[in-house]
């Protein structure tokens, strides 16, 4: 079995992830269980990678004057629990026990306000470029670990475009859902087999 870099969650913290604190969160409503993963894409400026601007944006530290696009998002206070960079590096901005501000107005299986009960994962990417294999690998490891830590997630994994279809298009047509689901089930199978042996 391949060693997973992100095999454990402790008190809402993903072990193995780089920790950067975002102020953009609040408490989940009382008695709300985590039961959904929402997958997004983001790049700042759009379709450009690296530079650290997403990290600055989620910390409310982005210099809006650096790029015309930044001015269109000026003052927005958003976050995600996790960001997976093009290299596969995983950054955690918000503790899973807290409510990150990633989904906005949204609804999943007739349940509104997905931020209340979901974990938001951003992939550094765009709607018009393929994602990197390192990103799928990290995503699979992370999702597998989150499904174990928060069993109510089960197979409730949605794209932002699924829960806010009129407003959002991400993770976009280049996010390969069949590949992701295949890799996730293969990873689970290999884990199960290694236990059986």
Residues noted as catalytic: 122
Q: Return d(Cα 120, Cα 113) in angstroms, integer.
A: 13
Among 30, 33, 34, 57, which Cα is nearest to 44's?
A: 57
The number of beta carbons lying within 10 Å of the beta carbon of residue 193 is 10
- Stretch of 35-43, 54-62, 73-81, 107-115 lying at the interface with Zn ion (CB under 5 A): 35-43
- Stretch of 34-42, 72-80, 108-116, 179-187 lying at the interface with Zn ion (CB under 5 A): 34-42
State yes or no: residue 170 binds Zn ion (CB under 5 A): yes
Pick 82 or 187: Cβ nearer Zn ion: 82
State yes or no: residue 160 binds Zn ion (CB under 5 A): yes
Q: Return d(Cα 117, Cα 1) in angstroms, integer.
A: 32
State yes or no: residue 99 binds Zn ion (CB under 5 A): no
- Stretch of 69-77, 92-100, 109-117, 157-165 lying at the interface with Zn ion (CB under 5 A): 157-165
The pair phi, psi for residue 71, each rounded to 5°, is -70, -25
Q: How far is the CB of 129 from Zn ion (least distance, A)?
A: 16
The pair phi, psi for residue 46, each rounded to 5°, is -55, 135
List interacting residues with Zn ion (CB under 5 A). 40, 160, 170
């Amino acid at each position: 079995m391949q060693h997973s870099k992100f095999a454990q969650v402790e008190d809402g913290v993903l072990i193995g992830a780089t920790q950067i604190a975002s102020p953009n969160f609040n408490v989940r409503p009382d008695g709300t269980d985590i039961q959904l993963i929402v997958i997004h894409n983001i790049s700042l400026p759009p379709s450009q990678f690296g530079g650290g601007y997403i990290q600055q944006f989620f910390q409310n530290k982005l210099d809006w004057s650096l790029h015309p696009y930044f001015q269109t998002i000026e003052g927005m206070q958003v976050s995600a629990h996790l960001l997976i960079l093009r290299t596969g590096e995983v950054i955690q901005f918000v503790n899973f026990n807290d409510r990150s501000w990633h989904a906005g107005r949204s609804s999943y299986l007739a349940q509104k306000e997905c931020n209340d009960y979901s974990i938001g994962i951003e992939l550094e990417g765009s709607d018009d470029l393929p994602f990197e294999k390192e990103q799928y690998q990290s995503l699979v490891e992370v999702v597998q670990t989150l499904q174990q830590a928060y069993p109510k997630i089960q197979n409730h994994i949605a794209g932002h475009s699924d829960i806010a279809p009129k407003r959002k298009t991400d993770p976009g047509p280049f996010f390969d859902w069949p590949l992701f689901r295949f890799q996730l089930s293969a990873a689970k199978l290999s884990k199960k087999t290694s236990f059986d042996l």
